[in-house]
Amino acid sequence: MKASTQKWQEGIGVALTNYRQFLELSLKYQIATFGPTVGVEPNWKSHDLAKLWSEFVEILERYGTPDPDEADPVVGEIILEFAKIDPGSYSYRYPVDRQGNPVPVAYADLHLPTLANVMQGVAGYFMGCDGYLSDLQNAVA
């Protein structure tokens, strides 16, 4: 078995795919749920994390949300890193390409427990945004 296929089977490719999907769906949910109230339309077609993040930041700005702990730029950096490694949401879906060649794992030295902790923090950020934006949205309605 080739080293790249073995790394895939150890979970790196699967983890990257699922975490990227989590980011994309979290952003799409926030945009669809809270965007229309402030004039930002839902975006269900794009897989571009950078574009989705930009639309989400626009929503935060239109609601006038403060960021006292400066979490927005930290989460933004994480999202943009995923946007770089998998811009179209295809890079790590399968362990082989269309010709059956193993997909090399570019981040073979990635420490999955650390990534899991980071992503747990991102999940907390989105849960906090959901609650806070919901309160703001209800105050406007």
What's the pLDDT at 58? 97
Distance of CA 77 to the CA centre of its chain: 10
Other beta carbons within 10 angstroms of residue 52's beta carbon come to 22
Q: Which of helix, strand or coil describes residue 36? A: helix
Distance of CA 73 to the CA centre of its chain: 13
Show pLDDT as tens, one digit a residue, over the chain (141 residues): 566 556 555 677 788 889 999 999 999 999 999 999 999 999 999 999 999 999 999 999 999 999 989 999 999 999 999 998 877 766 666 667 778 777 666 666 778 899 999 999 999 999 999 999 999 999 987
What's the pLDDT at 110? 76
What's the pLDDT at 5? 59
The pTM score is: 0.86
Q: Which amino acid is at 71?
A: A
- Give strand pairing partners of 96: 102
- Distance from C-alpha of 4 to C-alpha of 20, rounded to nearest angstrom: 20
- Give strand pairing partners of 102: 96
Could you identify the residue written with the tokens 């965007």?
A: 35
What's the pLDDT at 15? 85
- Helices (DSSP H) in 10-111: which residue ranges? 12-34, 49-63, 71-85
What's the pLDDT at 11? 74
What's the pLDDT at 135? 96
Choose among 79, 107, 80, 81: nearest CA to 92: 107
- Distance from C-alpha of 13 to C-alpha of 9, rounded to nearest angstrom: 8
